């Protein structure tokens, strides 16, 4: 199988690649050489050879499909205990006050995301 300059020009147009006549003429023998190698690969006897997706064997490590919280609850509980202990509380936890970032229309105030310091 071989390609002509007209076919290369058509493929370049379909791929929206701008090529002048000199580039097309230079590409024709290169593509024909590649197609010759592909034809040569077609002559190889592959009976008994199983198809591969990679050159080395790859096996996926699968885990049980179980829903977990990723140990987030336990980590949060430890953090709460540590923070509570830092404030001298034994069974009570204190949290910082959360500032309301709602803008004038009730949405998120994106001005607070700028790199400039916030004004009171």
Query: Which three-class secondary structure state does DSSP give residue 102?
Result: strand
* Residues in Cβ contact with 112 at an 8 Å cutoff, skipping those fewer than 6 apart: 101, 118
Other Cβ atoms within 10 Å of 8 Cβ, number: 20
- What is the C-alpha separation between 23 and 25, in angstroms, rounded? 5
Give the phi and the psi of residue 75 in degrees, each rounded to 5: -65, -40
- What is the C-alpha separation between 35 and 41, in angstroms, rounded? 10
Q: Which residue segment(s) compose the domain that 15 sits in?
A: 5-42
Convert the pLDDT of each residue in 56-108 to its tens digit.
877 777 877 777 777 777 777 777 777 665 555 556 555 666 665 555 555 55
Which tops the pLDDT comparison, 17 or 77?
A: 17
Q: Decide if pLDDT at 3 tops 80.
A: yes
Q: With respect to residue 34, please indicate whether it lies within any of the assigned structural domains.
A: yes
Dihedral of alpha carbons 9, 12, 13, 18, sign:
negative
Number of domains in the chain: 1
Mean pLDDT for 4-24 is 95
Q: With respect to residue 95, please indicate whether it lies within any of the assigned structural domains.
A: no
Residue 109's pLDDT is what?
A: 52
Structure tokens at 87: 């404030």
Q: With respect to residue 87, please indicate whether it lies within any of the assigned structural domains.
A: no
Q: With respect to residue 14, please indicate whether it lies within any of the assigned structural domains.
A: yes
Convert the pLDDT of each residue in 104-118 to its tens digit.
555 555 555 545 555
Q: With respect to residue 52, please indicate whether it lies within any of the assigned structural domains.
A: no
Residue 36's pLDDT is what?
A: 94
Mean pLDDT for 1-6 is 92
Q: Decide if pLDDT at 29 tops 70.
A: yes
32 burial via Cβ count (<10 Å: 0-12, 13-18, 19+): middle
């Amino acid at each position: 199988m071989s390609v002509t300059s007209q076919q290369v020009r058509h493929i370049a147009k379909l791929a929206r690649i701008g090529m002048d006549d000199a580039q097309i003429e230079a590409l024709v023998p290169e593509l024909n050489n590649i197609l010759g190698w592909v034809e040569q690969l077609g002559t190889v006897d592959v009976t008994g050879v199983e198809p591969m997706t990679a050159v080395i064997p790859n096996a996926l490590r699968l885990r049980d499909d179980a829903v977990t919280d990723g140990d987030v609850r336990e980590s949060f509980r430890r953090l709460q205990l540590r923070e509570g202990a830092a404030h001298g509380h034994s069974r009570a936890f204190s949290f910082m006050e959360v500032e309301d970032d709602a803008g004038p229309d009730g949405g998120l105030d994106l001005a607070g995301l700028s790199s400039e310091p916030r004004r009171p």
